Amino acid sequence: MSVDISTKITVKKASTSKISEVDFDNLPFGQVTTDHMFVCDYKDGKWQQPQVVPYQNISLDPSAKIFHYGQSIFEGMKAYKDNEDQIWLFRPLDNQKRINISAKRLSMPEFPEDYFMEGLKTLLKVESNWIPKTPGSSMYIRPFVLATGNGFHASPADEYKFVIACSPSGAYFGGEVKVLIEQNYSRSANGGVGFAKAGGNYAGQFYPTQLAKAKGYQQVIWTDDNTHEYIEEAGAMNVFVRIGDTLLTCPTSDRILDGITRKSIIAIAEEEGIPVEIRKISVKELVEASNNGTLKEMFGAGTAAVVSPIAGFGFQDKDYDLPTIENSYAVRFKKRITDIQYNRAEDPFGWRYQVK
């Protein structure tokens, strides 16, 4: 798509600010929203004037396709403030590319790269005071696209809205996570939309996750839809396993989201000389490794928590506890990544991106 780069983003400032009502020392995750949002509408076959406007409700016709056919995609990213009040993003172009991969799969129009990056930067500069500085906190950023076009006919909408909303957030504490290896339900299937950050993927996860919670687990480990023999993701995170000192994760596919945290962990592990294997991981192998004491760690990886250590897993009515170990990979990768994100350490990978 050709874009007129001279298109200036219009900024309409809110007349009042909610910021004085916010307790920045006790921020929840993803609950507080800021004063402004970025919006850009798609109609007549093209993206219209991009704008930063006061944070507000979105009003839609009841026949809008989003309500019926679920054309909805999103991204999750964060902005970080360092000690000098400089603002940083982490690999933002990967999010920009990925939202368009999702868009294509859901028959939605792609959003131009410079609109995405300029929109994001303009919004973050307007909301700069909202980016929290308390340790572990950050500005969670939610870009999303929804089908606003009308009509009950089951076909792609002709109008869409691209939005970026922000939420100053405290550290994401999942607590001790016990997971259930899912043997009935599937998150995604061959040829499906599992690789896309499509809204419906998450709606479909809630019920099996509730069932797991009722059994005393906090999260589900998704297995392949065909055999349920191979692990694929941990809830809405990619999954890693440490057997002996080898780090294992399964290859991405059309069933698995290609996580930015996942690929960052793989790059760090390789740089640090940790043996990495990207291959299918069977539940049988996990059970055997647990029984013979070589299963040292399991953790989820994603933007919100960075890494989320798993304390144990349930499989076929049996629980397998993971040991508490020193020199955990989970802790090590989390520190490496967050030190880069908050500009506390060198970034040999070129992942950090300054907003200025």
Ligand X SMILES: *Cc1c(COP(=O)(O)O)cnc(C)c1O
Residues forming the site for ligand X (CB under 6 A): 76, 197, 233, 236-238, 257, 259-262, 302-303
Q: Are 52 and 72 in contact (CB under 8 A)?
A: no
Task: Report the residue number, 27 or 260, with the smaller CB distance to ligand X.
Answer: 260
Name the residue nearer to ligand X (CB basis): 209 or 290. Answer: 209
Query: Cβ of residue 254: shortest distance to ligand X, in angstroms?
Result: 13
Shortest Å distance, C-beta 63 to ligand X: 28
CB of 203 vs ligand X, minimal distance in Å: 12
Residue partners of 16: CB distance under 8 A and separation at least 6: none
**Residue 220 burial (CB count, 10 A):** 23
Cβ 196 to ligand X, closest distance in Å?
Answer: 9
Count of all residues that appear for the chain in the document: 356
What phi, psi does 210 have (nearest 5°)? -65, -40
Residue 78 near residue 92, CB atoms below 8 Å: no
Q: Based on CB atoms, which residue is closest to ligand X, 89 or 126?
A: 89
> Is the distance from CB of 42 to CB of 127 less than 8 angstroms?
no
Name the token pair of 20.
């004085």
Side-chain half-sphere CA neighbours of 320 within 13 A: 24
State the minimum distance, in angstroms, from the CB of residue 352 to ligand X.
Answer: 16
Pick the closer one to ligand X by CB: 101 or 331.
101
Q: Is the dihedral of CA 145, 146, 148, 154 positive or negative?
A: positive
Nearer to ligand X, 34 or 303 (CB): 303
Question: Which is nearer to ligand X, 92 or 259 (by Cβ)?
Answer: 259
Q: Min. distance of Cβ 236 from ligand X in angstroms?
A: 4
